[in-house]
Amino acid sequence: MDEFRTWPKETLLEMLQVQGVSGVSAAMSKDELLATLMSLLPADSDQPEGDASADAVGGDTAGGDTAGTEATGDRVSAIDEDKVTFRVRWRTTTYKVVLPRAATLAELKRQVYEHTGVLVADQVIEGVTAYGAALTDDTSFLELDMVVPVYDVTMSGKPVCESSSAAAAAPPPSSTASNWSSHRMSNSNDDARAFRAVLRSAATAGRGSRVSGPVVRAPSRSAALQARKEAKAFTTAFEAEFGTGHPPFFDGALEEAFHSATALSRFVVVVLHNSDAEFSQQFCEHILCSEYVREVVVMNALVWARNVAGAADERNPHVRKLAAVAETGLSRASLVIDQYPVVACVGAVNGEMALLSARTGYVTVDDMVACVLEAAEAHSRRADDERVAMSKRLKVAAAAEASLTDSERAERDERERLAAERTAMREQQDAAYQASLAADRAKAKAKAEAEAKATEAKLAAERVMLEEARAAEAAATRLASLKDALPTEPEADGADVVTVAVRTSSGRLQRRFTAATLFDTVLDWLEVEGIKNVIGVASTYPRKQYGRGAGSLSEAGFSGSIIFNVCTE
């Protein structure tokens, strides 16, 4: 009882659901789930029994089968009448598997796979066919009218990857109820070491050949940079919440991951994570960060992951891209993206992206590992098929070469030589044509640049002329205005008349003004007479300059006649 209290609530719920217990739900508390689980156990049992538990009960030693029967005999009487027990004999070991009577033969094979490593497709189970008509993997035990509580069956088949003879000598790891939990959730133990030995062999199977380069186009530079930013952001957010125990995430676009994986004779595990989905927290924490998952993935594939939260439908480019890959005729599996997370294994088939296997929604460690191993097997078969096809092509070519006579071989060589010469000539002509095009483009560019410069110079000159004309017009208008504003020149014999003479660089100017005339008016008169940039006039003795705002002639003390020198800027 104390052992089960350490299990997470999710593990208890999954165990009860797998057992087919009705009435359990996620709304139940952990104590309620624990009480329900304990009610299913025999009174003298310390270990739970379920479809995921299988005990190795004997071997090919004296009395081995009898010992196995005795080891399970006490429990058989306590088994629910809605369940059926199988004693599966494989090689030297017998495993007990308990399943609901509504289960199918496929579910029995999946349980056997967990303990033997023999793929479902490779299993041959003898002992069940006697109970009904022709069987398929979808046949349920209810259809077979299996009323006996315990059945002895024999399974034959070879594990997906046997690394050495030790695999046959030592039984595969058993999966009791207690390590059923750790197999999904946690740590390293003897099962882990045995399981990893199988995975290491699986990772190396079928890697002897290299496939031709993929025809998938690499992303543009800007798209690649954007993909790296997205990958970095996803990894940072993921590790901040779930830690660093995940398989390495590829730092780039999906196309780049595909190219890299193909070069390594591997495939890509695509993970579309939706942080808003129901199972995302459990998947990231207990599945993607599982030590088992990390090792199987690292040995077989590269991982490309993104978070599609907020746009987890066809609006999201990652969803569209993966859906398009799944719909190609080269794909080996189907995929409907309606639940998250999405785990899809993508590999190269005839140089193009193809879906090898996939899982969506609620994914356990077993589901994840099975998905990757299915893809590894498909990937290995494809590599084997390519090697066989290449071998056949080489043999055909060798046979054809051997059947040629000397004259036929000489004719072939001559045809190849002529074809090579024609190819070289076409390449030279193409190169010359491209060089001519480049020269024409350079000339056209230089001409266009010269014309542009000439046009710009012409426009600049026109702008200068226009500005000068406007300035001259403005100056003429101003002079005309100043001339009109000058007072009438008084008579020489008038009262308070001052005769002003100004020496200039070109001669002498003279005009009569009244004594009340301002120096501003005197300076305006000088501008009207054509003296430019005038700023004032200066008396000779005493030397003093008078500019605008200096007052009137009488205020400055001038009367009669006065001579000034002009002052300009």
For 41-179, which CATH class?
A: alpha beta
d(CA 277, CA 363): 13
Tokens of 40: 């299913």
d(CA 566, CA 500): 12
**What does the pLDDT look like over 519-561, one tens digit per residue?**
999 999 998 888 888 888 898 888 889 988 888 888 888 888 8
In the chain, what are the domain boundaries?
A: 41-179, 221-387, 410-479, 497-568
- The helix (H) or strand (E) run that includes residue 439 is helix 406-485
Q: Which residue has the higher pLDDT, 213 or 508?
A: 508
Which of 212, 557, 192, 248 is closest to 389 using CA atoms? 212
Pairing relationship of beta strands 301-307 and 267-273 according to DSSP bridges = parallel
DSSP, res 283:
I
d(CA 374, CA 520): 104
- The CATH number for 221-387, chosen from 3.40.50.720, 3.40.30.10, 3.40.50.2300, 3.30.200.210, is 3.40.30.10
Q: Which residue has the higher pLDDT, 371 or 315?
A: 371
Phi, psi dihedrals of residue 185, rounded to the nearest 5°: -115, -25
Tokens of 16: 């009860």
- For residue 469, what pLDDT band results from cuts at 50, 70 and 90? very high
pLDDT given for residue 329 in this prediction = 60
- For residue 188, what pLDDT band results from cuts at 50, 70 and 90? very low
pLDDT given for residue 135 in this prediction = 66
Please, which residues have CB within 8 angstroms of residue 538's CB and are 6 or more apart in sequence? 544, 545, 546, 564, 565, 567
Tokens of 552: 């009137």
**What does the pLDDT look like over 117-140, one tens digit per residue?**
777 777 887 766 444 345 677 777
Assess whether the region 41-179 and the region 221-387 belong to the same CATH fold.
Answer: no
- The CATH number for 497-568, chosen from 3.10.20.90, 3.40.50.10470, 3.50.50.100, 3.30.360.10, is 3.10.20.90
Chain CA centroid to CA 471, Å: 64
| Average pLDDT over every residue of 306-324 | 78
pLDDT at 63 exceeding the cut of 80? no
pLDDT given for residue 177 in this prediction = 30
**What does the pLDDT look like over 471-506, one tens digit per residue?**
989 988 988 988 888 898 888 887 888 999 998 888
* Helix/strand/coil for 379: helix
**What does the pLDDT look like over 17-49, one tens digit per residue?**
655 555 677 788 888 887 777 665 544 444 433
d(CA 178, CA 176): 5
Task: Kindly report the pTM of this predicted structure.
Answer: 0.36
Rg of the chain's alpha carbons, rounded to an integer?
A: 49
pLDDT given for residue 205 in this prediction = 40
Tokens of 466: 């226009």
Mean pLDDT value across the chain:
75
**What does the pLDDT look like over 215-234, one tens digit per residue?**
567 777 888 888 888 889 99
Pairing relationship of beta strands 342-349 and 267-273 according to DSSP bridges = antiparallel
DSSP, res 332:
S
d(CA 309, CA 358): 20
